[in-house]
Amino acid sequence: MRFCRLITQLLLAIMLMAPIGASPAMAQATATKDSKASSKANAKSAPAGDLVDLNSASIDQLKALPGIGDAYSKKIVDGRPYARKDQLVSKNIVPQATYDKIKTLVVARQKK
């Protein structure tokens, strides 16, 4: 009897802490939707002055791009120079999925 009362109180406490009408599936769907919205906001074109130049950016600047870590930033630097930004894929520097995340954030400027 005592055990049942404890379980009942515990369940009641858990139900009171959860938002009304919320289920774990709803919470996960909301988190996924928020994550996708954030990714789309980051993937929009940046103003020309804010683009990261693949031919001159530092490793830290490259690592700030979505999906680019230590390994990819080093490969990008080692693969310089780039005539076009899509050479990141054609030279097998980054996979297509990663390139799709950063293509609106980078540029391959040429020295004059």
What is the tens place of the pLDDT at every residue in 39-83? 444 445 556 568 999 999 999 999 999 999 999 999 999 999 999
User: What span, in angstroms and rounded, lies between the C-alpha atoms of 4 and 13?
Assistant: 14
What are the domain boundaries of the chain?
Answer: 48-107
Residue 52's beta-bridge partner residues? 106
Q: What tokens were used for 58? A: 């530092």
Residue 30, C-beta contacts closer than 8 angstroms, at least 6 positions apart: none
Average per-residue pLDDT in the chain? 80
Q: What tokens were used for 24? A: 């774990």
User: What span, in angstroms and rounded, lies between the C-alpha atoms of 53 and 30?
Assistant: 35
CATH tag, 48-107? 1.10.150.320
Q: Tell which wins on pLDDT, 2 or 47.
A: 2
